[in-house]
Structure formats: structure tokens, C-alpha cells
Amino acid sequence: MSDYSGGKFSEYVDETATVPISEIEAFTPSTPQELVVEEKMYGINKPKRSVIRARITHDKD
Amino acid sequence: MIKTKSGNNPKISQGDIYRNIDYIENVCENNGIIEVSKIEFPLIVILSQDCDLTWDYKNRYGRPKKNNQDKFMFSILCAPLYNVEHLIEGNHLELLNQKMQIIPKYSKRDLSTQYKALINNEIPRYHYLEFPKRIPIVPSVIDFKHYFTVSTKALKEKKDTSFVCKVAELFREDITLRFSNYLSRIGLPS
């Protein structure tokens, strides 16, 4: 598992900030980033696995 | 058949049953893409001790506000409920690519010994639950090998929309007693 206190994710969001994963949603509305969420769902009525992928990019404007 | 209560109290309680609860399997990051893998369980039952849940609730939301967080719990222990018909066919986890043991329901024309042991709660690993008709849950089984925790805060946020019912005290104690017995079993070398 990656360390979110450093590495590329922090660099994408804010070069100076330490951003834990739990703050992603809170972070995006007030900052000029774009959150892209892709969710894949499999099956119904039995336990099922989903994978959420989120990409945070800089807003060039 | 067990007894249940329908009232949705603000507090999370031992024996509460919730629907559509996520277990976060893994979180990783690769080249700026965050990937969260989770398993959604259609139904789960709360196993954490009720007194711990009560004190957590009082400490978090009680008035006057406490000056410490001594009773806070990071997470709450729970176990999935599986449809008994899926479980005996061994396909209840097929969407997770897991094949499970098959428990034959019939032997000739009668219920099999294994199936009767399952529904009479004579197999330590499993706990069979049959709900009153007003509760929209099919006969289900808890597999005591399967348990996980959910963030206390996350579960509280989902409580109003996910609450199904509460297992009555006597029956919930039966669940947790059998669970703790199973968990504390000693595996002796054969």
C-alpha cells in the first residue's frame, strides 16, 4: 500500500500538503482539481467486489 | 426462529443488522490514480459488545460534552449474513471467486444430517438465523470465520439508510457467545 503522506499523490494535489485518503472528497470541491471516479460493480445479492479508481489532476485554468 | 426489534435508535447496537456495508480490501496509488478495492456485503450483523457501543455513543454525542475521548472505538466488529440456500450450495462467495464447501440438503428423501446440524446450530462454525415474516431477510447463516470491522464514524453515517432490524437481546447474546467460543477454540495438533 502506498504512503499518501509523500509520493505522487501528494504532488498531484498540492505540493506542500499532506493529504490523507479520507480527505479526498473534502479536498476536491474547494480546490482547483478534478476528481475522476470510475466504479465497476459486479453482481447482486451476494457479496461483491467493486473497484473505484480516482484520478486527481490539476485544473489548467 | 429468532425475535427481532424494528426500532432504529440513534445508537449502533450489538445485534443490529445493516444492509449494503462495505469492507475496504485495499487502497493503493499508482501513477496518480488511486484505486480502492472494496467488498460490499448485502447484510451484516454487529458483534461488538453493546456496552462498548453505548459508551462510545455517550462519549461522542452525550451532553455535556466529555473532555476526553476515552471511550471512542475506532471500529465496530461485524459479520456477514449469507443466504442459507447459497451457503449450502457453496456459491455464496462466487462473485469473489471463492468456492466454498457444499452442505447437502437432502439425503435420499429426508433432510441430511449435516443440514439439520446447520439449522440447529450444532456446527460451531455457523449460526443459522430465521427471521419473522415481517423482516425482509431470507433464512441466513453467519460464518464465524468471516468477520471484519467497519469504521464507527462511517457506519453511523450509513445507519439511517442501512438499518434493517435489531436481533432481540437473548438471540444476539446467543450469537456472540457462539462467536466467542468459536474464536477462542484451541487448535490442537492431530
Ordered domains of chain B (ranges, CATH): 4-183 (2.30.30.110)
Asked if the structure places residue A2 within a domain, the reply is: no
Which of A39, A42, A46, A56 to mutate to probe the B interface, most B CBs <10 Å?
A: A46
Are B35 and A51 inside 8 Å of each other by CB? yes
Would the CB atoms of A1 and B27 count as touching at under 8 Å? yes
**Which chain B residues are Cβ-neighbours of A55 within 8 angstroms?**
32-34
Size of interface A-B (CB pairs under 8 A): 76
How close, in Å, is residue A60 to chain B by CA atoms? 16
Structure confidence by residue, pLDDT tens digits, A22-46: 444 444 433 444 444 444 444 348 9
Q: pLDDT tens digit string along B98-150?
A: 999 999 999 988 999 999 999 999 999 999 999 988 888 889 999 999 999 99
Cβ distance of A47 and B27 shorter than 8 Å: no
The Cα A32–Cα A16 span in angstroms is 15
Average pLDDT of every residue of chain B: 92
In a domain, A1, yes or no: no
- For residues B6 and B20, give the distance between their C-alpha atoms in angstroms, rounded to a whole number: 18
- Which ipTM value was assigned to this complex? 0.86
Number of domains, chain A: 1
**Structural domain harbouring A20:** 7-58
CA distances from B124 to B21, B143, B184 (A): 25, 9, 11
Nearest to A8 among B29, B39, B42 (CB): B29
Q: CA–CA separation, B57 vs B69, rounded Å? A: 11
Whether residue A46 is contained in a domain is answered as yes
